């Protein structure tokens, strides 16, 4: 997840930004599992805000994009 860590480090504390499956070059199923963890515990240096965007993939609603806010936590 080096790409994610580098991207998050570039953001200022309090900045809102979007993280998507496509941006991380992940399959929707893999991103959905990761995003579910972020919803529960927060991510490395950010917290999820708002409602995650879901897409239908093979008859399942999977999270494919989240809006997050940068925190002061170390990445």
Note the pLDDT tens digit of each residue in 10-67: 999 999 999 999 999 999 999 999 999 999 999 999 999 999 999 999 999 999 999 9
Query: DSSP label at 31?
Result: H
Report pTM: 0.90
Cα torsion angle, 31, 32, 37, 40, sign: positive
Domain boundaries, given as residue ranges, for the chain = 13-70
Calculate the CA dihedral of residues 56, 48, 22, 55 and round it to 10 degrees. 10
1 has a pLDDT exceeding 90 = no
pLDDT at 2: 78
pLDDT at 62: 97
């Amino acid at each position: 997840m080096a790409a994610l860590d580098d991207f998050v480090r570039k953001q200022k504390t309090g900045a809102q930004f979007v993280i998507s499956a496509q941006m991380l070059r992940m399959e929707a199923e893999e991103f959905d599992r990761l995003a579910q963890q972020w919803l529960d515990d927060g991510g490395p240096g950010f917290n999820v805000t708002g409602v995650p965007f879901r897409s239908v993939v093979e008859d399942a609603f999977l999270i494919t994009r989240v809006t997050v806010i940068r925190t002061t936590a170390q990445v």
